[in-house]
Amino acid sequence: MTNAPLSPPPSRFSSARFYSPAASIGLAAPLVAALVIGFLYPVLRLVALSFSGGTLDHYRRIFAEPLHVDVLLSTVLVALVVTVASLLLGFPVAYLMARLSKGLAMAAAACVFIPLWTSVLIRSYAWVVLLQRNGIVNKLLVETGVTEGPLKLIYTQGAVILAMTHVLMPFMILPIYSALRALPADYVRAARNLGAGPLRAFVAVTLPLSLPGVFAGSVMCFVLALGFYITPALVGGPSSMLMATLIGQQTTVLLDWPFAAALSTVLLAITLLFVLLFRKTLSLSKGLNSVY
């Protein structure tokens, strides 16, 4: 009886043996072409348009006029506040969903998904109905005697933050829920058996292991908040202008496309900078957790 030669153990790259380099390139070519045509080419055209005339005049104009700098800082500040508010409100919801049974967790997930499937325009108009001068909130405040007359709730920065938090909170809840759901219950049980209380077990075990979900949700909320257009335009009005509103004004009203391209390029650079900072913070967090 002859002994058959032992085959090497399969590796995760073993499937590459079945395809020649030409076949591999052919399989990847449609995806690369779609990425180049649908993303890379428009971005490069946008950046090239911002340097119209071969000068930096459009960028100098952004930082020379206080209005544009104020709008840029206000956009970043609103995005940060919305991200923090979404985290503070969304983490308890995700934690509760992770601790529920499978059936109740599915029902809670449906409650999160249904608003996500609803159009942003409809949700923004709903906040206009709630917060307007004769809206439900003002009527409730007047009828209960909390205020003598209707308050100015709509067309304020607070209304913009409230509406944007409501729209973006599912993007914070779902990544955190996925991270918490994948966390083995034995870890928390072991911490409790070693003498840790519920708060100590949460701070020492649950919270650090949920940080990948927290960072993923924070990145999505922050990036989406930077480019939000519909909700600030409807709920905030002219008094609450963000970068997306300013860019839309430059393209549709003033028809100043090179300056709008410069504004978009600056916003894109800020977005990439914050994404890199989030990734760096996440890597540091993993390093600190590995020490303990």
What ranges do the domains of the chain cover? 57-291
- pLDDT number for residue 292: 37
For domain 57-291, give the fold. MetI-like fold (1.10.3720)
Q: Are 153 and 131 within 8 A, CB to CB?
A: yes
The pLDDT value recorded for residue 91 is: 93
Q: DSSP letters of 194-260?
A: TT--HHHHIIIIIHHHTHHHHHHHHHHHHHHHHT--HHIIIII-TTS--HHHHHHHHHHTS--HHHH
Amino acid symbol at 66: P
* pTM for this entry: 0.81
Give kind and range of the element (H or E) at residue 21: helix 21-35
Mean pLDDT split into 10-residue runs, the chain, 292 residues: 51 58 82 86 87 83 87 92 94 88 81 81 87 86 83 86 91 91 84 83 86 90 89 81 87 86 90 84 57 37
Cα–Cα distance measured from residue 164 to residue 244, given in angstroms and rounded to the nearest whole number: 14
Burial state string for 208-239 with b = 16 or more CB within 10 A and e = fewer than 16 = bbbbbbbbbbbbbbbbbbbbbebbbbbbbbee
